[in-house]
Amino acid sequence: MHVIRGKAIEPLFTAEMIARRNVELAAEIAKGPTHDLLVISILKGSFIFAADLIRSLHHVGMAPEVEFITLSSYGTGTVSQGVRIIKDIDSEVRDRDVLLIDDILESGRTLSFARDLMLERGARHVSIAVLLDKLNKRQTSLSADYVGFECPDHFVVGYGMDVAYAFRELPFVGVVTGDA
């Protein structure tokens, strides 16, 4: 257990576990569709995972173009949820293989939106890499091609992920278990 700024945080996936898994994921990604590969990091939550995974891709001999898109969900509760673009990519997508990187696959709405958007823009193939998969929260038929870890149904922070804008800087993924 870590005590960070008055909160008790229980580590779920340590920095070492994540680093090892990134190497494995990069080896898997290298075997997939990589024609004129465009890697798109979905902000904000995926920025640390994407940075590490992209460096692991370099170590397996890949040199993708790297882009960023900021997406946001809207609507809560009974209101049907949608996703909107806060900041778009600049690059051409047509006839390229695209790899979307996100932190967590939960309902699947964010990544379904992003995948459909890239397919509409003429991507040849869109694959999806996520650090964490919360399988029992899915509201769509979406599945990821590359998954770091299956995640229990807890709200997690760290390694890019926040709660109320805090804890993105932690080098591990953990659960806030209370005040300490």
Specify the residue, 37 or 113, whose C-beta has the smaller distance to ligand IMP: 113
Contact (Cβ atoms closer than 8 angstroms) between residue 171 and residue 10 = no
d(CA 151, CA 149): 6
Residue 155: name its binding partner from Mg ion, ligand IMP, none (Cβ under 5 to 8 Å by kind).
ligand IMP
**Rounded least distance, CB 6 to ligand IMP, Å:** 19
Would you list the DSSP string of the chain? -EEETTEEEEEEE-HHHHHHHHHHHHHHHHHS--TT-EEEEEETTTHHHHHHHHHHHHHTT---EEEEEEEEEE--TTSPPEEEEEE---S--TT-EEEEEEEEESSSHHHHHHHHHHHHTT-SEEEEEEEEE-GGG--SS---SEEEEE--SS-EEBTTB-BTTB-TT-SSEEEEEEE-
Exactly one of 155, 169, 171, 177 binds ligand IMP (CB under 6 A); that residue is 155
**Rounded least distance, CB 57 to ligand IMP, Å:** 20
Specify the residue, 62 or 73, whose C-beta has the smaller distance to ligand IMP: 73
Specify the residue, 122 or 171, whose C-beta has the smaller distance to ligand IMP: 171
Q: Does 160 bind Mg ion (CB under 5 A)?
A: no
Q: Give the bridge partners for 4, in sequence order.
A: 7
Q: Does 45 bind Mg ion (CB under 5 A)?
A: yes
Q: Tell me which stretch binds ligand IMP (CB under 6 A): 55-63, 86-94, 100-108, 116-124.
A: 100-108
Exactly one of 64, 108, 148, 174 binds ligand IMP (CB under 6 A); that residue is 108
**Rounded least distance, CB 126 to Mg ion, Å:** 17
List of residues contacting ligand IMP (CB under 6 A): 45, 73, 102-110, 155-156, 161
List of residues contacting Mg ion (CB under 5 A): 45
